[in-house]
A and B are shown apart, each in its own frame.
Chain A
Amino acid sequence: MLEVRLYLAQRASAAIMAPLVLIHLGVMIYAIQGGIDAAEILERTRGSFFWGANYGLFVIAVSVHAAIGLRNILREWLSLRGIGLAVISWIFFAGLLTAGLRAVAAVVLS
Chain B
Amino acid sequence: MPQQSSQTILDVVTWIQRHLDAGLSYRFACRVGMCGSCAMMVNGIPRWTCRTHVNKVMRDNQLTIEPLGNLPLIKDLACDMSEFFEKWTDSKGYFQGSTTRHDPVSTLSPNSPQRRVADAATECINCAICYASCDVVNWNRDYLGPAALNRAWSLQNDERDRASAERLTAVAGDAGCHQCHSQQGCATYCPNELNPTASIAGLKRMVAKAYVRGELPKQGTKRDA
Contact = CB atoms under 8 A, between A and B. Distances in A.
Given A7-B204, A7-B208, A2 B225 contact: yes
Interface in B176-219: 176, 178-179, 204, 207-208, 211, 216-219
Q: Which 5 A-B pairs have the closest CB atoms?
A: A76-B139, A7-B178, A3-B178, A4-B211, A3-B174
B172 interface: yes
A5 B176 CA distance: 13
Interface in B127-144: 136, 139-140
A8 B140 contact: no
B153 to A, nearest CB: 16
Interface of A: 1-8, 75-77, 79, 82
Question: Interface majority SS on A: helix, strand, loop or mixed?
Answer: helix
A82 B225 CA distance: 8
Interface residues of B, number: 20
A77 B2 CA distance: 44
6 contacts: A1-B211, A2-B225, A3-B179, A5-B211, A8-B208, A8-B211
Nearest to B210: A4
A6 B174 CA distance: 10
Contacts of B224: 1-3
A92 to B, nearest CB: 18
B33 interface: no
B207 A75 contact: no
A32 to B, nearest CB: 33
Interface in B150-183: 172-174, 176, 178-179
Nearest to B219: A1
Contacts of A6: 178
A4 B176 CA distance: 9
A79 B218 CA distance: 26
B139 A77 contact: yes
A76 B176 CA distance: 14
Contacts of B176: 3
